[in-house]
Amino acid sequence: MERTFIAVKPDGVQRGLVGPILSRFEQKGFKLVGLKLMVVSKELAEKHYAEHAGKPFFPGLVSFITSGPVVALVLEGKGVIAAARAIIGATNPLNAPPGTLRGDFGIDIGRNLIHGSDGPESASREIALWFSPDALADWTPAVSTWIYE
The contact set with ligand DAT (CB under 6 A) reads 52, 57, 61, 91, 109-110, 112, 115, 118
Q: How far is the CB of 38 from Mg ion (least distance, A)?
A: 19
Q: Are 81 and 4 in contact (CB under 8 A)?
A: yes
Within positions 33 to 92, which residues make up the interface with Mg ion, using CB under 5 A? none
Residue 115 annotated among the catalytic residues of the structure: yes
Q: Which is nearer to ligand DAT, 45 or 149 (CB)?
A: 45
| C-alpha 115 chain-centroid distance | 4
Q: How far apart are CA 17 and CA 8, in angstroms?
A: 8
Q: What are phi and psi of 66, to 5 degrees?
A: -95, 5
| 3-class DSSP state of 85 | helix
Q: How far is the CB of 140 from ligand DAT (least distance, A)?
A: 30
| Residue positions annotated with a catalytic role | 115
Residues that bind Mg ion (CB under 5 A): 118
